[in-house]
Amino acid sequence: MLSLKRLIITQFKNYSYSDFEFSENIVGISGPNGIGKTNILDAIYYCCLTKSYFSSTEQLNIKFNFEGFRLEGNFNLNNNDKTVVCIYRNQKKEISLNGNIYEKVSSHIGLLPAVMITPGDISLINEGSEIRRRFLDALISQINKEYLISLLKYNRLIQQRNSLLKSWNVNADAELLDVIDEQLLKPAEYIFNERALFLKNIIPIIQEVHSQIASGEAIVDIRYSSQLSNENFKDLLRQSRNKDLQLQRTTTGVHKDDLLFYLQEGTFKNIASQGQKKSLLFALKLAEYKYILSQKDACILLLDDVFEKLDEQRIENLMKIVCSGKKGQVFITDTHSERLTKAISSVTKNFQLVELGNISE
């Protein structure tokens, strides 16, 4: 069980100094455009995962004209207090837990799991395969450290291979290419097998959540697509060597994998409506949330502006799913406090509403 009890935001984005107390496991945050709703979610995400969901440039997270920011989150994890302080100043980041500064910031990741869903995440459905691989990699890495190690090794080898292909010397480099190809086999096969296994487990969860949100709609067919499904990687590398030399890059491997969505035999992104796409996006992310809960018994769910483009029935279905868990805490933002209150109170009476006014100055 994980929940955030108090959040103190100093000089982070539009906040000068704000202190929020959270008393319930379901928290609605309402207020007009630009008041700082999304920024609160991002501050929570930061305390859990040591970075902003939106910007990898820390400078952009500091309130304009200030020198640094500080975030403090008082969490309760299985009845233990966990106070996280994140300080960024002089281009340096310092994260501490209960007063002890981490030597490696990455050691904090995994202790306080969090999943964010924002309108911009629709790119997961609409855009190229890279973004879906990143989603998949981030998720599997959170639960399998060996996967992350293989992935880093694979990516490094592909980089080496591509630079060799670019500076190709026909007399000297063939042997080196053989060596790299040989080294690629193990991490590539591990990544392929782990992705296949993980997707086999999570695709039914995605489909189940999807049918709960989009009740009555056709089931979305989700398939893992990889060149390694039909042929072994060694043969693939051999077959594509000439082409790779010509194009000066590696054209085969798990860095070409994708997750494909179909709706009644058509490609989902081409035929689905905006609301249908949004429902699938929620299904993907909520499956992630459920999966993490099942592995770690704790997760914070951050839902930013999720009601736009969803009809009332889907909003109610969504709320039933997100508010039913007892082990996580859910934060939901919306510009309309009545819509938010109505949506949450349709499933539970125990919730807190934070209405943002002119608090940020």
Based on CB atoms, which residue is closest to Mg ion, 38 or 276? 38
Nearest to 317 by CA among 219, 217, 209, 221: 209
Based on CB atoms, which residue is closest to Mg ion, 29 or 292? 29
314 binds, among Mg ion, ligand ATP, none (CB under 5 to 8 A by kind): none
DSSP state of 91: T
Give the nearest distance from C-beta 65 to ligand ATP in angstroms: 8
Helix and strand element counts for the chain (H, E): 11, 14
- Distance CA(130)–CA(128), nearest Å, equals 6
- Taking contact as CB under 5 A, which single stretch among the options 38-46, 90-98, 219-227, 260-268 is the one that binds Mg ion? 38-46
Nearest to 269 by CA among 78, 167, 56, 125: 125
DSSP assignment of 251-293, as one string?
-SSGGG-EEEEEETTEEHHHH--HHHHHHHHHHHHHHHHHHHH
- Taking contact as CB under 5 A, which single stretch among the options 32-40, 183-191, 219-227, 260-268 is the one that binds Mg ion? 32-40
Give the nearest distance from C-beta 88 to Mg ion in angstroms: 22
Query: What is the SS3 assignment for 113?
Result: coil
Give the nearest distance from C-beta 43 to Mg ion in angstroms: 13
285 binds, among Mg ion, ligand ATP, none (CB under 5 to 8 A by kind): none
- Matching residue, tokens 């969090």: 114
31 binds, among Mg ion, ligand ATP, none (CB under 5 to 8 A by kind): ligand ATP
Instruction: Give the other-Cβ count within 10 Å of 251's Cβ.
Output: 15
Instruction: Give the other-Cβ count within 10 Å of 219's Cβ.
Output: 13
Q: Which residues contact ligand ATP by CB under 6 A?
A: 13-14, 31, 33-39, 60, 62-64, 305, 335
Based on CB atoms, which residue is closest to Mg ion, 37 or 210? 37
Looking at beta carbons, which residue is closest to Mg ion?
Answer: 38
Q: Is 38 in the site for Mg ion (CB under 5 A)?
A: yes
The set of residues, in sequence order, having a beta carbon less than 8 Å from that of 136 and lying 6+ positions away, is 195, 198, 199, 259
Q: Give how many residues touch Mg ion by CB under 5 A.
A: 2
- Taking contact as CB under 5 A, which single stretch among the options 37-45, 133-141, 160-168, 313-321 is the one that binds Mg ion? 37-45
CB 298 within 8 A of CB 113: yes
Give the nearest distance from C-beta 34 to Mg ion in angstroms: 8
Burial class, 221, CB count within 10 angstroms (exposed 0-12 / middle 13-18 / buried 19+) = middle
Query: What is the SS3 assignment for 4?
Result: strand
Give the nearest distance from C-beta 329 to Mg ion in angstroms: 19
Based on CB atoms, which residue is closest to Mg ion, 14 or 251? 14
64 binds, among ligand ATP, Mg ion, none (CB under 5 to 8 A by kind): ligand ATP
Based on CB atoms, which residue is closest to ligand ATP, 63 or 290? 63
Give the nearest distance from C-beta 154 to Mg ion in angstroms: 36
Give the nearest distance from C-beta 206 to ligand ATP in angstroms: 27
Binding footprint of Mg ion on the chain (CB under 5 A): 37-38
